């Protein structure tokens, strides 16, 4: 696999894309059900800082002794770059717990955890002495991934996580606008519920519908799977086949489909006129090339169609690359985003001054799947009073991460900055954007094709 350059990234919510990417490593834990259980299978994308390649040592050297050098790289990154100072013994205790758990699952006798005192070098030496023989007794790759995954997950930070080579490839392809290989569905659950079908994709051509529940994926019972685990089984290599058994509302017999996987590249900005003078734009993802151009074009095109009010749908938009110019379309002057780093330094981005000729009355739709950059976008428009927010509280996963290749194709993402409200200066991470008008959309609503949140937006705009 080609080396992935390090790049500063703004990433997505943990209950959706993060879980999907983590799942691709080896194992996954189904996410809890949220009030609007939709998951968009599109990872987040790079922020403006340009990527710089780091020379990679010979892979054979990195993989020696169970890949201990790879673990060392991740360990150093967490200690040196994470948004808050970490204790070496805490990080390594979690790494050992992950490796030990995997070893036990493989039937390997696990020795006692190495003694850790808090000394950076001494603790790693003790960890190395215990880990190397353990890795030699089992599947070294699985043990290494388990250690890396657990040391990141233990921080309970949605922007700090481990990516297997498969997941790292996926995130890089999608942030570059190359889409991902699968069938083109959006899922909620558990159990897996189809909440969206990407037009023109394999699922769309096969006749999969919103509201379908996935009962089996190939030979696996999917009834207890969360979205991440389901995606792990559904996605795969291009031109291969996945068999699905669906339970469809109103039909007693299951629907059996065999679908050929393909690369699916969804439209990130999707406009349409709803009627009654209302224009609707769905923003799926803040992709690497930015959304300000397509969003500007969509809103400008509405003027010739008699549109006088706007709805921008950010539901299940996991974020991606920060796009200050998108906020500047609506905010003529002032701070558009504010971040704080590990040392407490504040960085601000100001409006470009390139606003739309006309800014119409506007509603933003949000839910628990609205994450990261999408939350920063919503917060800015809400705080400046240019948009009314309807739906559910956003995910509260608002920050920046640096994803660094570990040399074997896997990567470690580390939170380096957190976001603050551009007007209020309030911390957004862990809090999210509170809607001006809370409206719930349930699984039952989705199955029945009902959208109370969109209905509320139309009503607010007088439609």
Q: What is the pLDDT of residues 331-372, one digit of tens each?
A: 999 999 999 999 999 999 999 999 999 999 999 999 988 988
Scanning 106-193, the segments in alpha helix (DSSP H) are: 120-137, 140-153, 165-175
What's the mean pLDDT when you consider all of the chain? 84
**What are the CA-CA distances from residue 397 to residues 77, 352, 374 (Å)?**
21, 25, 10
- With cut-offs at 50, 70 and 90, classify the pLDDT of residue 329: very high
Taking the C-alpha atoms of residue 370 and residue 381, their distance in angstroms, rounded to an integer, is: 14
Query: Contact, 59 vs 2, CB < 8 A?
Result: no
- Predicted confidence at residue 321, as pLDDT, reads 80
- Number of other CB atoms surrounding residue 80 within 10 Å: 11
For position 301, what pLDDT does the model report?
96
Nearest CA to 135 among 124, 126, 146?
A: 146
Q: Report which of 4, 32, 23 is spatially closest to residue 395, judged by C-alpha positions.
A: 32
Judging by DSSP bridges, how do beta strands 161-163 and 411-420 pair with one another? antiparallel
Give the CATH H-level superfamily of domain 180-264. PDZ domain (2.30.42.10)
What pLDDT shows up at residue 52? Answer: 41
What are the structural domain ranges in the chain?
180-264, 269-460
| pLDDT for the residue 181 | 60
CA distance 81 to 74: 10
The mean pLDDT value for 421-450 works out to 92
Residue 37 has pLDDT above 80, yes or no: no
Share above pLDDT 70 across residues of the chain, in percent, rounded to a whole number: 84
3-class DSSP state of 281: strand
- Mean pLDDT over 403-421 rounds to 92
Same fold, 180-264 and 269-460: no
Pick the range with the lowest mean pLDDT from 54-68, 167-181, 274-288, 399-413. 167-181
C-alpha 25/C-alpha 187 separation (Å) is 19
Q: How confident is the model at residue 390 (pLDDT cuts 50, 70, 90)?
A: very high
Q: Residues of 133-164 as b/e, b for ≥16 C-beta within 10 angstroms?
A: ebbeebbbbbbbbbbbbbbbbbbebbbbbbbb
| Contact predicate 380/292, CB 8 Å | no
The residues pairing with 309 across neighbouring beta strands, listed in sequence order, are 278
Q: What is the mean pLDDT of residues 7-13?
A: 41
Cα separation, 364 vs 165, in Å, equals: 36
Q: How far apart are CA 113 and CA 189, in angstroms?
A: 37
Averaged pLDDT for residues 313-328: 89
pLDDT digits (tens, 9 = 90+) for 96-149: 999 999 999 999 999 999 999 999 999 999 999 999 999 999 999 999 999 999
Contact between 388 and 365 under an 8 Å Cβ cutoff? The reply is no
**What totals of helices (H) and strands (E) does the chain contain, helices first?**
13, 21
Alpha carbon distances (Å) from 205 to 164, 209, 310: 31, 10, 31
Residues 6+ positions from 55 with CB-CB distance below 8 Å: none
Mean pLDDT to the nearest integer, 269-284 = 94
285 vs 172, which has greater pLDDT? 285
- DSSP symbol at 18: I
Confidence band, pLDDT 50/70/90 cuts, at residue 174: low
When pLDDT is averaged across residues 235-244 and rounded to a whole number, the result is 88
Residue 172 has pLDDT above 80, yes or no: no
Asked whether the predicted pLDDT for residue 39 surpasses 80, the reply is: no
Instruction: Find out whether 39 and 186 touch, Cβ atoms under 8 Å.
Output: yes
Q: Are 415 and 399 in contact (CB under 8 A)?
A: yes
pLDDT of res. 218: 92
Query: Which range is least confidently modeled, 40-54, 114-128, 439-453?
Result: 40-54
Tell me: pLDDT of 40 over 80: no
**Percentage of the chain surpassing pLDDT 90?**
58
User: Is 269-460 a domain of CATH 3.90.226.10?
Assistant: yes
Q: Which of 22-31, 110-119, 178-187 has the lowest mean pLDDT?
A: 22-31
Residue 169 has pLDDT above 80, yes or no: no
Kindly tell me if the per-residue pLDDT of 215 is higher than 80. yes
In the predicted structure, residue 183 carries a pLDDT above the cut 70: yes
378-391 mean pLDDT: 98
Give the whole-angstrom CA distance, residue 285 versus residue 369.
11
Tokens of 345: 């330094």
């Amino acid at each position: 696999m080609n080396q992935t350059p390090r790049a500063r990234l703004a990433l997505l919510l943990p209950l959706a894309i993060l879980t999907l990417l983590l799942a691709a490593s080896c194992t996954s834990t189904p996410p809890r059900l949220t009030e609007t259980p939709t998951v968009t299978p599109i990872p987040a994308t790079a922020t403006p800082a340009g990527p710089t390649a780091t020379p990679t040592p010979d892979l054979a050297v990195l993989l020696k002794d169970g890949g201990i050098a790879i673990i060392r790289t991740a360990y150093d990154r967490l200690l040196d770059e994470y948004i808050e100072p970490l204790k070496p013994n805490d990080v390594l205790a979690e790494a050992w717990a992950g490796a030990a758990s995997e070893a036990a699952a493989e039937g390997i006798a696990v020795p006692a955890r190495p003694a850790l005192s808090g000394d950076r070098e001494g603790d790693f030496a003790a960890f190395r002495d215990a880990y190397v023989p353990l890795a030699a007794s089992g599947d070294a790759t699985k043990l290494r991934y388990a250690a890396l995954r657990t040391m990141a997950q233990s921080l309970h930070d949605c922007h700090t996580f481990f990516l297997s080579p498969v997941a790292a490839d996926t995130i890089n392809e999608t942030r570059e606008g190359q889409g991902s290989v699968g069938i083109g569905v959006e899922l909620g659950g558990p159990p897996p519920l189809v909440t969206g079908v990407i037009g023109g994709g394999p699922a769309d051509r096969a006749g999969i519908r919103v509201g379908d529940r996935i009962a089996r994926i190939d030979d696996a019972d999917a009834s207890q799977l969360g979205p991440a685990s389901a995606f792990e089984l559904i996605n795969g290599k291009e031109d291969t086949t996945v068999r699905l058994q669906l339970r469809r509302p109103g039909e007693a017999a299951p629907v059996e489909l065999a679908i050929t996987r393909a690369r699916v590249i969804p439209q990130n900005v999707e406009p349409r006129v709803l009627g009654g003078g209302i224009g609707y734009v769905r923003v799926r993802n803040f992709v690497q090339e930015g959304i300000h151009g397509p969003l500007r074009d969509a809103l400008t095109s509405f003027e010739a169609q008699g549109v006088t009010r706007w709805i921008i749908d950010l539901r299940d938009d996991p974020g991606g690359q920060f796009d200050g110019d998108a906020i500047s379309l609506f905010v003529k002057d002032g701070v558009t985003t504010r971040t704080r780093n590990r040392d407490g330094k504040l960085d601000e981005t100001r409006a470009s001054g390139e606003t739309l000729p006309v800014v119409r009355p506007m509603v933003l739709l949000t839910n628990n799947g609205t994450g990261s950059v999408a939350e920063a976008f919503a917060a800015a428009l809400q705080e400046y009073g240019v948009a009314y927010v309807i739906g559910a509280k956003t995910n509260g996963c608002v920050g920046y991460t640096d994803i660094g290749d570990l040399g074997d194709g896997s990567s470690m993402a580390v939170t380096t900055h957190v976001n603050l409200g551009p007007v209020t200066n309030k911390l957004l991470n862990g809090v999210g954007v509170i809607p001006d008008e809370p409206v719930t959309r349930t699984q039952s609503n989705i199955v029945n094709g009902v959208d109370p949140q969109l209905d509320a937006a139309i009503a607010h705009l007088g439609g």
